[in-house]
Structure 1
Amino acid sequence: MPAPASSPSRDGLGPYLAHPHNSHVFASSTTELNPPPSPRTQRTIRKLQSAHNLGAAARFGNAPSLIAQQRLHNLQDRPPSPSRQPSNRSPQRHRANSDARPPQLSASIYGTPGPSSRRPGLKPTSTAANEMSLERLIRDGPPAGDVDGALESARLKVLDQGIKSDSDGMSSTRIYVWLILLDAPIVKTDDYIQLIHRGPSPAYSKIRNDTFRTLTTNPLFHRRVSEASLIRLLNAIAWMLHDAKDKSRPSSSRQSVGPSSAFQTSLDDISQIAVTSSPSASRGRSRALTATTDGSETNASEPGTYVQGMNVLAAPFLYAARSEVEAFVAFHRLLTKECPGYIRGAMDGVHRGLALVDKVLAIVDPKLSLYLTSKGLSAEIYAFPSVLTLCACTPPLPEVLRLWDFLFAYGPHLNVLCIVAQLIIMRNDLLGSPSPNKLLRPFPALQADPIKRTALAIIKMIPDDVYAEITTHAL
């Protein structure tokens, strides 16, 4: 099975592996500001000031948009680019960007279907794009309409130079690069608000049991992201997953979960949705607790549901995004297109990923693999959170963001190799410890650059059939 559309395989890494210092890059995108709907109060006006549309096709005179050029070039339909939407974040969030006027961007480009999962080979890039910075390509779009070449250059730019950010991991371009690489569609702010207004989802009680424990030791995250924001995002995602699952069932067995009156609030009160304590909200939570167990038995063909750990997986999106809607569309795209197997049924995709961690480690470092096995340590024991959350469970958060830049550029499936890379990096400590489980609970602090370099070396060491398993294990 070929790799997902936004997850190119080893072929796309060829230029980097062959010429590690000559890779220039990038893909990109366009936006034009769209004024938000007319609000009723000055407070709402401030809250919605950042409304804009990443990917709305820019028009230069009568020239066709980049999206139109891409469609004509590929002879296939592509959705428009992801949207930058107004922020609904809590006002206590420190350093939030949602009230800042965004830069003028041009129209967005998207990933094209990835190549077959063979060993690395050279792929064409755009010479003009190679000479441009990532930020300029985000602003101006691919030169000469060369979408495919610019996108490949973008991936190599992310791999070779990374995305510019400060010491806290904050970047004005990161979320837009992620949305482009994930091939995220447009989601209107009103659609997100409607999901919130539907009230507690069937998974609401699970969400409330998880959110307060999200990255509890990470002050950077909690200064910027409120628990209320995380609850709203996860509840909206849970509704989307519930609806998809409900549509897949026969009409006679579908369940209807109506909205809760406690959540039918005005736009001005959205920030208080998740923390309301009214009796009707309590009844909604009680009803959601009962509904959470409905349909817990799923099969591999059904869409996924909310699972414990999704709160940690959602956290970096909220931290990096300028609005909840941006985080929502990127997170939903990741779950439903890149790793649906992680949240479907008994999380079979996660267990396949864990088995692959063991398999790859046995190939690249038999001695370490045998030693861990002799201590009763398999990936199921020490790597489950790292597989499920794409290493987001391991601090520091700025390093997680840098690692995710790499994963979204070349496929979240490469997280399996990144976990093995962490084991290789701490190899001497593990082999010298009589109790290696203490070193693996939790993993040492994440270091994105050494992990990426080691993962790239591992790619060249594993057989094609094993790599093919890695590219499809999360689907």
Structure 2
Amino acid sequence: MDVTVEQSQPTTESILARKHTDSEASEESLTALREALQHFCPKELRGKAWKLLLRVNRVSASTYISLVEKGSSSLDDKIRQDTFRTMTTDTNFIEHVSEDMLVRLLNAFVWNKEGNNGNEELDTVTYVQGMNILAAPFLMTMPEMEAFFSFSILVRKWCPLYVHPTMKGVHCGLKLLDICLLQLDPVLYGFLYGKNITARTYAFASVMTLSACTPPSSELLYLWDFMFSYGLHLNILFIIAQLALIRTELLHSDHPANLLRVLPPLRARKIVHLTKSLCKKISDDLYDKLVRHTYDESVAEELGILSSTTNEQKDGIEELPDFMKDDNE
């Protein structure tokens, strides 16, 4: 019986091949796609699936080519300080993505902002450290031009506060991670807090990069399938799920900070399974804040997070792993 039911479920390939004549049918297919992606996504279809889930409605070769032809942007030096150390230990990434691809995409992103002609949506978002890590998975799953537009939609529409110059969305995410951990596992939260360990200590990079800083990329891509299906806010719960997987080791360690210095390699299916359970245990009010914190500035006010100062940004950078730190800091 189980096999029959499984076979009757539409596959990712069959869903992506559907033709639609109205928005209602399109939304029904998106719902089916979200379900299908929890089971399996052929790597050759992942790029198309991500574009649909992120609602990337426009891809223009002429636009991207014109931006690339502008060459180095005003932030080219800053971009290159980051790109050469992107996922340097991940063979899957190295085999599919060159540094030149990352440099072109990110410079084009900056040029697109600088030539926005007063478009308020583009005004507040330009290159910040960590964008190289966010862009990398797109270049692994789709052609460079499509990766540019998909990455742009991700940061400008779905998580603009994460790439705001003050990183206010990231700071909100860290605060929410602590609050969620306290609500979901007060014993672990109390143990870590007693050791002076909060989310800022171990999760800054994981929040900022939507977990893309943790290898392997093959597991990350599955996590992003789920995250793009149901919301970027789930990354906060991904991190808590990772803590749950090493909970025993943490509680029995005299120096848990050492265990958290680098989170263990991703185990995507276990993380997703735990995340589904965690979602059911969070209060409605807290879950609402989780959903909104990547794009709604009022969440920062509700959490009592003031506009980030230069010093606060410095503190955040200090929590990054060494390979992500600016050599000039």
Q: Pick the TM interval, shorter chain.
A: 0.7 to 0.9
Shift of the alpha carbon at 1:148?
Answer: 2.1
Q: TM-score, normalised by structure 2?
A: 0.84
Q: Work out whether 1:247 is the aligned partner of 2:67.
A: no
Alignment correspondent of 1:141: 19
Alignment correspondent of 1:306: 127
Which digits, 9 at most, give the CA deviation of each residue in 1:86-113, with x for residues without a partner? Answer: xxxxxxxxxxxxxxxxxxxxxxxxxxxx
Shift of the alpha carbon at 1:445?
Answer: 0.5
Q: Does the CA-based 8 Å contact 2:113-2:122 persist in structure 1?
A: no
CA distance, structure 2, for counterparts of residue 196 and residue 23 of structure 1: 48
Q: Work out whether 1:157 is the aligned partner of 2:29.
A: no
Aligned pairs (5 A) from 1:387-406: 387-406=207-226
Q: Work out whether 1:218 is the aligned partner of 2:38.
A: no
Secondary structure class of the residue paired with 1:360: helix
Alignment correspondent of 2:293: 473
Supply the AA of the counterpart residue of 1:305.
Answer: T
Supply the AA of the counterpart residue of 2:189.
Answer: S
**Partner residue of 1:317 out of 129, 138, 143:** 138
Shift of the alpha carbon at 1:449?
Answer: 0.5
**Partner residue of 2:110 out of 215, 238, 247:** 238
Instruction: Structure 1: state its 5+ residue gaps.
Output: 1-19, 26-129, 165-170, 250-299
Shift of the alpha carbon at 1:141?
Answer: 3.3
Q: Does the CA-based 8 Å contact 1:23-1:156 persist in structure 2?
A: no
Q: Does the CA-based 8 Å contact 2:79-2:103 persist in structure 1?
A: yes
Shift of the alpha carbon at 1:430?
Answer: 0.8
Aligned pairs (5 A) from 1:310-389: 310-321=131-142, 323-389=143-209
Q: Work out whether 1:442 is the aligned partner of 2:283.
A: no
Supply the AA of the counterpart residue of 2:30.
Answer: L
1:216 and 1:301, CA in 2 relative to 1: closer, same or farther beyond 3 A?
A: closer
CA distance, structure 2, for counterparts of residue 133 and residue 143 of structure 1: 21
Q: Does the CA-based 8 Å contact 1:302-1:344 persist in structure 2?
A: no
**Partner residue of 2:81 out of 202, 209, 224:** 209
Which digits, 9 at most, give the CA deviation of each residue in 1:17-44, with x for residues without a partner? Answer: xxx999989xxxxxxxxxxxxxxxxxxx
1:453 and 1:247, CA in 2 relative to 1: closer, same or farther beyond 3 A?
A: same
1:331 and 1:301, CA in 2 relative to 1: closer, same or farther beyond 3 A?
A: closer
Q: Work out whether 1:190 is the aligned partner of 2:62.
A: yes
CA distance, structure 2, for counterparts of residue 23 and residue 199 of structure 1: 53
**Partner residue of 1:427 out of 243, 247, 262:** 247
Q: Does the CA-based 8 Å contact 1:24-1:156 persist in structure 2?
A: no
Alignment correspondent of 1:12: none
CA distance, structure 2, for counterparts of residue 353 and residue 444 of structure 1: 20
Q: Does the CA-based 8 Å contact 1:302-1:345 persist in structure 2?
A: no
Supply the AA of the counterpart residue of 2:100.
Answer: A
Alignment correspondent of 2:317: none
Supply the AA of the counterpart residue of 1:389.
Answer: T
Shift of the alpha carbon at 1:142?
Answer: 5.3
Shift of the alpha carbon at 1:331?
Answer: 0.5
CA distance, structure 2, for counterparts of residue 469 and residue 135 of structure 1: 34
1:248 and 1:182, CA in 2 relative to 1: closer, same or farther beyond 3 A?
A: closer
Shift of the alpha carbon at 1:422?
Answer: 0.7
CA distance, structure 1, for counterparts of residue 223 and residue 246 of structure 2: 18
Secondary structure class of the residue paired with 1:331: helix
- Equivalent residue pairs, number: 293
Shift of the alpha carbon at 1:220?
Answer: 1.6
Q: Does the CA-based 8 Å contact 1:368-1:427 persist in structure 2?
A: yes
Instruction: Structure 2: state its 5+ residue gaps.
Output: 296-329
CA distance, structure 2, for counterparts of residue 319 and residue 389 of structure 1: 16
Q: Does the CA-based 8 Å contact 2:46-2:141 persist in structure 1?
A: yes
Shift of the alpha carbon at 1:377?
Answer: 1.1
Q: Work out whether 1:132 is the aligned partner of 2:10.
A: yes
Supply the AA of the counterpart residue of 1:153.
Answer: A
Alignment correspondent of 2:275: 455
Q: Work out whether 1:414 is the aligned partner of 2:234.
A: yes
Q: CA RMSD in A?
A: 2.4
Between Structure 1 and Structure 2, the one with more helix by share is: 2
Secondary structure class of the residue paired with 1:377: coil
